[in-house]
Amino acid sequence: MASKSDLLPRSTRRLLRQGRHVTASPCPICARSSLAARPRSSPRLQNRSQAGWPRLLSTSTNPRTELQNTLLELQKQSPNLINISRLQLALQGLRQDAGNEIIRVAILGLANGTEADATAARVLHALLADPLQEVQPWEKELENRDGSKPLIVRVGPPRNHAVSLEIEKEVGLDEMHISCPELDAYNLEFLLMGVDVPYGAPGETTIQTLEDAVLVPTVDIPSANDRVSPISTPVHQALLVADGLMGAVNVSALPVSETDESISAVVQMEGVTKEQLQASFDVVDVSLAEKGLGLFRQGPQNAMDYERLWFSSNVPTLLKWLKDGAKPGAADETKPAVRRLIASTLQNTSSQIQLVEARKLSKALTLHSDDPAVAALNKRLTDWAQNAHAELQDELDLAFKGRRWRKLGWWKLFWRVDDVAMLTNEMLGQRFMPTAEQELVYLTGRIAQLGGSSPEYPQPKSSLDATESRKLGSGEHAPPLAATSSYSLPKWPGHIAFTRRYLQNETVPALQSLAQKLVIQSLGTSGITTSLAALLYMSSFASTIYEAGAVAALGIVYSLGRLQKRWDAARNFWEGEVREEGRKAVRGAEESVAVVLESNGSNGTTGVEEMKKLQNTKELIAKAEDALARMK
């Protein structure tokens, strides 16, 4: 019998997971999986857990818990911007032990007038069949079942029986439990069904449309009065199965190759290889795999023929794709399929936010108000944005072609390394849109004059850090602004000023530090090789001074070449970052003013509140991405 110290932490974790699994899920497969995976604990352990021991576990946070809480907050705050079905599947994976998550894979037959559903079933059979055993009952059930009905296949070690076909009364879905030695350890679930994919000419179907149709397929669940209810069933990975030449044409029109490894496509064609078609999708011949399987089951003397037919069918490529998504890189590490699901969900949410912002900006710029003053200010805002972009491009072109920037050439870095921060700060202070910032203040003054009061403009997130410590050019931290003076946010969009402050306080010290590091490395390498050349000459290993000089010259040339390469790359990167941050600042200020003008035109403050809500959603996405990067 296990001791108390060995038993209690494990049972406590089980109880915590049990409390999470009972959360309602819109997906019938999730509900079924949760009930099947719920652990059983004794009443005595439950009473002890309720006595206060879970508090000890809750005090320690980790990136996995932080990511789960952030996703829940994201679901609560912006349910219209995020795919709830995929988010629920991601949360279900995070509630499971790292490295032991259930990976759900959809085997989808493309509805294109061919026998795609039957072909998808044959592909699934080829992936799960065990050649070391005789024909199993589930193989006959899979072959004879109605292909028009969705099927759930759970793969795992055998329980009291090797296989079972069950009809789940609650959800009305066929369900199989199969043991496959090749895949038992991967904790896989398969969803076999047909799917309708929005086709079009090459390039018309977007990646977002394909993911919505394939990674969140809809299952029709029978309900009362001979009706069906469509329910979304999200999956981690999806395999599109097509048949014949027509299927290859339909698959080639889909942007499968542009997506990540979550979506793969395969076409069943006998006697044809992927190289012959020059296709971006995989081509398999399931008949070869079935023939090899039958030969091996007749006797081990056919092992060579089985191996030849098995690899000729190209089915092992699909098996590798399954294992790559369901196998963690190390013990207690999150499976790659779960990571891709979370990353894709966050990326799609960011895309939705950008789309909403673009629509709001377009609506604000084209707002037709009865008040001619508001229309005139909209025209002024459009002119300001155009002039600001032009000034940004022209002034930065002058700055990066000017005398100050030429002083920071790689060969001048030895005597100007301490001037990097001073020269770059001067460039930013004089060339980073000073006129656009002044005209923006004048424009906001006209808006305040129109409304009779100073409106509240949405500020960039960096403005919230203004009351915290600031980093100086030397790398030291200055005291907070609130401690030195009476500080308050500006009464106009502060995007340009805060972007300039970010570049001066964050990127310039990094550039200064890199310059000093490169100079020290270059001098150190040159000094070492020169000393080595002197030792060679003095120890008579080098017969002449020219041989010793060649060693010193080699070290000097190498060190200078490395200095030139890395410093030029750093200069180009910093130049690109300044330009990009400037464009973001202009666009942010334009959106902020447009929101206020829209509110003035509609006599409300809804636009400002929506902008704040979108900004909060952006912060949650950034927080979730950071936690995902730190999570094992």
Contacts of 312 by beta carbon, 8 Å cutoff, 6+ apart: 285, 288
Q: What is the CA radius of gyration of the chain?
A: 32
Q: Is there a single domain that holds both residue 147 and residue 254?
A: yes
Residue 230 is predicted with a pLDDT of: 81
> Is the domain of 339 the same as that of 314?
no
283 lies in the same domain as 317: yes
Does a structural domain hold residue 464?
Answer: no
Measured CA distances, 20 to 35, 71, 95, 154, 473 (Å) = 11, 14, 7, 22, 49
**Long-range contact set of residues 602-607: C-beta below 8 Å, sequence gap at least 24:** 607/360, 607/364
Domain that holds residue 439: 377-454+490-600
* Distance (Å, whole) CA 626 – CA 632: 12
User: Is there a single domain that holds both residue 315 and residue 344?
Assistant: no
Low pLDDT (below 50) residues in the chain: 1-25, 35-60, 113, 161-170, 464, 466-487, 603-604
198 and 116 within one domain: yes
HEC per residue, 34-98: HHHHCCCCCHHHHHHHHCCCHHHHHCCCCHHHHHHHHHHHHHHHCCCCCCHHHHHHHHHHHCCCC
- Of 379, 380, 260, which is closest to residue 325 (Cα–Cα)? 260
Contacts of 52 (CB under 8 A, 6+ apart): none
Domain-located, residue 400 = yes
Residues 578-620 have pLDDT tens digits of: 999 999 999 889 888 887 877 665 544 555 677 778 888 888 8
In the prediction, which pLDDT does 378 show?
A: 80
Q: Same structural domain for residues 444 and 531?
A: yes
If we measure between CA atoms, which residue out of 460, 465, 407, 402 comes closest to residue 430?
A: 402
Q: Is 42 inside a domain boundary?
A: no
Concatenating the DSSP letter of every residue in 148-162 gives TS-EEEEE-S--SSS
Residues 85 and 123 in one domain: no
| pLDDT value of position 175 | 86
Q: Are residues 412 and 530 in the same domain?
A: yes
* Among 283, 313, 317, 320, residue whose Cα is nearest residue 295: 313
Q: Within 13 A of 189's CA, how many CA atoms are on the CB side?
A: 20
Q: Is residue 318 part of a domain?
A: yes
Looking up tokens 């130049």 gives 575
Q: What is the pLDDT of residue 394?
A: 92
Dihedral over Cα of 539, 542, 545, 550: its sign: negative
The pLDDT of residue 60? 46
Query: Using CA atoms, how far apart are residues 295 and 27, in angstroms rounded to an integer?
Result: 41
Are 110 and 189 in a shared domain?
yes
Query: In this predicted structure, what is the pLDDT of residue 586?
Result: 92
Indicate the number of domains in the chain. 3
pTM of the model: 0.63
Instruction: Tell me which DSSP letter residue 505 carries.
Output: I
Q: What per-residue confidence (pLDDT) applies to 105?
A: 93
In a domain, 45, yes or no: no
Q: Is residue 161 part of a domain?
A: yes
CA distance 166 to 485: 73
Joined tokens for residue 32? 């079924």
Domain check: are 312 and 247 in the same one?
A: yes
SS3 228: strand
Which has the closest alpha carbon to 390: 382, 425, 376? 382
Residue 483 lies in a domain: no
Distances 42 to 13, 37, 39, 321, 504 between C-alpha atoms, Å: 14, 16, 10, 41, 61
Judgement on whether residues 125 and 186 belong to the same structural domain of the protein: yes
* Residue 280 forms part of a structural domain: yes
pLDDT at 29: 61
Q: What is the pLDDT of residue 603?
A: 44
Instruction: Verify that 75 and 113 share a domain, yes or no.
Output: no
pLDDT in tens, 258-295: 877 889 889 988 888 777 777 788 889 899 999 999 99
